[in-house]
Amino acid sequence: MSRPSARSVIEEIATGFEDLDVSRSDEPADGPIEWPGYRAAREAAEKRTGEDESVLCGTARIGDVEAVVIAFEFGFLGGSIGQRTGDRVEAAFARAVESRLPVVSLIATGGSRMQHGMLALSQLQRIARAAAGARAVPQISVLRDPTTGGGWATLGASADVVLALPEAQVGFAGSRVRSADAPPEAYTAEAKLAWGQVDGIVPSADLPATLQRWLRLLSSPTTEAAEPPSALGSANLPESGWEAVQTARAADRPRAAEYLDAYFDWREDVSGDRCGGVDSGVLCGFGWRGGRAIAYAAQCGTPTLPAGFRTAARLVRLASRLGIPVLTLVDTPGAANDAAAERDGAGAAIAELFEAVASAAVPITTLVIGEGGSGGALAFAAPGSTWVAPGAYFSVTSPEAAAAILKLPADEVPALADRLRLRPQDLVALGIARSVVEPADRV
């Protein structure tokens, strides 16, 4: 199978690539463990690829942003990671930290270099340490074919944003060491997207523009809080609590996607909690508005799954680390509370988001746009910086659940909605919300 060279991939996405000047580690002719025939294999790889190692590291411009680029040359011994690979990657991250540049890793590797033995495997610790030491700068990985072994388990999976080319082979186990009955579809970028481990599948033709957008978003810190979105839909306030609940539950009212599309000039989503889960009822990512980047975590009106809370927590922590303000949209009848949610750690996931919001080093702005059901909604809300739309409500629990808890008959549910003081104007009076937002044409 013919694969594009590392340099050709760099040329497709960037301009002005300059290799870093990295000293070469001393190495015996047949490698550090004197593997028979290694010298000949290495010389053949050099002749075939025109490169002297399995990875290229340097600086380049991707769109308007200068970045450190790490690109694996699969034609050089399968893009395997050896001692000099570790030297270069470590130097690349050091340059990124020194110059405050984002890192883009273009990965195509089969994993550690067998001919270097444990010295090869130990390079994964070096790479992990270098990446961890560069968390002050954005890190984006692009999973090419294949991305397996230590390349996936370090540079690939640890990046802030993980993109993948269509049908790329991705997995910790390479094709030659998997169980014979392992389904091949489990080792694809598409599977990793479905399982919350990849943020997006990007065709090669779209990769330059996608990387430009992501680098612009992640490299634009600001100290100013996001302004709350204007209300969509009716500006009329409900007369009763039950009217507020019914309005928020209306099928035709504006939802999170409509708010995000109206608020941002353009945006890019992240997906998944990185540990096997995706909640389609939570939208997370970064958007561009009025010349600056704002992160977002938005509920879409469904019961929020543990994966949704973990994805939102991941988003808030990333934005906090990069100095990008956050907008959250609250809209859920509550956290999912079925057996599956309990098995997947609902309580721990909600706690994770509460902690991320509480410890954020950036301002968080919240707008309640629909249902605000109990702790599952509150976890998305910023204390002291929450606004509410006219057609929304926020409550300690739903009126129906309150009736069940208090052992009251169902016909008292509408009256309970009034007693809970959950209307937008009630939330302002209670100090839960700062104010009720109005439509843009009335601001």
Structural domains of the chain sorted by starting position, each given as residue range(s) with its CATH number in brackets: 6-219 (3.90.226.10), 241-436 (3.90.226.10)
Beta strand 139-148 pairing with 103-109: parallel
Q: What is the DSSP letter of 205?
A: G
C-alpha distance from residue 305 to each of 334, 345, 370 (Å): 9, 9, 17
Q: State the pLDDT at residue 442.
A: 64
- What is residue 234's predicted lDDT score, i.e. its pLDDT? 86
pLDDT tens series, the chain, 443 aa: 578 999 999 999 999 999 999 888 777 787 888 889 999 999 999 999 999 999 999 999 999 999 999 999 999 999 999 999 999 999 999 999 999 999 999 999 998 888 898 988 999 999 999 999 999 999 999 999 999 988 999 999 999 999 999 999 998 766 666 676 767 778 899 999 999 999 999 999 999 999 999 999 999 999 999 999 999 988 899 999 999 999 999 999 999 999 999 999 999 999 999 999 999 999 999 999 999 999 999 999 999 999 999 999 999 999 999 999 999 999 999 999 999 999 999 999 999 999 999 999 999 999 999 999 999 999 999 999 999 999 999 999 989 899 999 999 999 999 999 999 999 999 999 999 999 999 977 65
Which structure tokens are listed for 122? 């130990």
State the virtual CA torsion across 334, 339, 340, 341 in degrees, nearest 10.
Answer: 30
Helix/strand/coil for 256: helix
Q: Which of 331, 312, 319 minimizes the C-alpha distance to 292?
A: 319
Query: In this predicted structure, what is the pLDDT of residue 178?
Result: 63
Please state the pTM of the whole predicted model: 0.94
Q: Which residues on adjacent β-strands are paired with residue 202?
A: none
Question: What are the beta bridge partners of residue 327?
Answer: 296, 365
Token pair in block for residue 13: 């996405």
Residue-level pLDDT at 443: 52
